[in-house]
Amino acid sequence: MRLSELDYNLPEDLIAQHPLEDREQARMLVANRKGGTIDHSRFYKLGDHLREGDLIVLNDTRVLPARLYARKETGGRVELLFVRPVADPPGAWMAMMRSHRGLKEGTRLLLENGLALKIVGHGREGRPLIASDSGNSVDEILRSSGLLALPHYIRRDVGAGDAADYQTVYAREVGAIAAPTAGLHFTDALLAQLADKGIRTARITLHIGPGTFAPLRASQVEAHTMEGEWFTIPDATRVAIDHARRTGGRVVAVGTSSVRALESWAITGDAEGFTGLFIYPGFRFKMANAMITNFHMPRTTVLAMVMAFAGRDLILEAYGEAVRRRYRFLSYGDAMLIL
């Protein structure tokens, strides 16, 4: 597949800069793969498009306040985005770093609150390994001093409401640097309403990291390599999925992260670990029967996945319709249900 086949025209003014006040009032485009039809709805009407026995799979990862600003002892400013803890050396985290120059192992980084960090090694290129150089652990420092890292296309400072708005209502397992944004439309009331209709939910965890957002640079999409992200599928979820499949229910994956976790498990049989699965057109889905997702940027791995799931022609038609009808795009934007 050529990279240019992941292009479409996205007007900048359709990129949502703020969430809706009422999450479940988001618009929802419904794309039917079998009939090739496109309909328009609202997210609070999700139950009207599903049926009793369907199983909604939610990613319960919780976004950590992963961004820190520090200064070198010589005074230069450094921006850090902490990705995940590493096993070696103990207590260190892999991070992404923005600085005028690359920093050597042993460099101390000072925080405004008097705490300090130290570069204790390097992972892959541009990924320093950072440990605390104070009494506090990195995890404690992030909890006390870290900032939420909104996506780069949200061109404003993080506001007081983003700490709650940029989490799903069912977020539980801390470890993501970005929210599983398809789930932001759910409310507790909507989940209860779906349960009353016999539409059940189950949870997986996939900690969204840089792999989801790394740009596609190769002219051929297939040449791209995904960075691994950690996932787990609990026993109860595996039982629920088996029950749904045996009784005719559909597995409705909420977000591309849920799809990656489910399909990784289906391929390898491993219910926990790091997945570098890159899904693009031609992929044969084994687990997900339907998908809830947001509208994605051109030339991204997540757009490649939805094209793999629904077909490039239907997705381009749906995106064109969404642009014409002025849907809200990207993380704080509207939703798409693919059946």
Position 113 scores a pLDDT of: 87
How many Cα atoms are found within 13 Å in the side-chain-facing hemisphere of 242? 8
Per residue in 259-312, pLDDT (tens digit) is 999 999 999 999 999 999 999 999 999 999 999 999 999 999 999 999 999 999
Per residue in 181-213, pLDDT (tens digit) is 999 999 999 999 999 999 999 999 999 998 898
Q: Which residues of 33-55 are buried (b: 16+ CB within 10 A; e: fewer)?
A: eeeeebeeeebbebbebbeeebb
Domains present along the chain, CATH in parentheses: 3-63+160-338 (3.40.1780.10), 67-145 (2.40.10.240)
Phi, psi of 269 (to 5 degrees): 80, -5
Per residue in 144-158, pLDDT (tens digit) is 999 999 999 999 999
Position 317 scores a pLDDT of: 98
- What's the rounded Cα separation, in Å, for the pair 230 and 260? 11
Report the relative pairing of strands 290-294 and 251-254 from DSSP bridges.
Answer: parallel
Position 261 scores a pLDDT of: 98
- What's the rounded Cα separation, in Å, for the pair 80 and 67? 6
Q: What is the mean pLDDT of the chain?
A: 95
Position 123 scores a pLDDT of: 83
Query: Average pLDDT of 77-94?
Result: 93
Q: Is the pTM of this model over 0.85?
A: yes
User: Which amino acid does the sequence have at 338?
Assistant: I
Answer whether 171's CB lies under 8 Å from 62's CB: yes
Answer whether 66's CB lies under 8 Å from 142's CB: yes
Position 56 scores a pLDDT of: 98
Of 66, 56, 9, 321, which is closest to residue 182 (Cα–Cα)? 56
Position 40 scores a pLDDT of: 98
Percent of the chain with pLDDT over 90: 89
Alpha-carbon 35 to chain mean position: 29
Who contacts 196 (Cβ-Cβ below 8 Å, separation ≥6)?
A: none
- Token pair, residue 267, equals 């391929």
pLDDT band at 243 (very low <50, low <70, confident <90, very high): very high
- What's the rounded Cα separation, in Å, for the pair 259 and 197? 24
Q: Inform me whether the pLDDT recorded for 320 exceeds 80.
A: yes
Alpha helices in the chain (DSSP H): 46-49, 138-145, 162-165, 188-196, 210-213, 235-246, 256-268, 301-310, 312-324
Of 24, 65, 97, 293, which is closest to residue 162 (Cα–Cα)? 65
Give the sign of the dihedral formed by CA 222, CA 153, CA 315, CA 194.
positive
How many CB atoms are closer than 10 A to CB 164?
A: 9
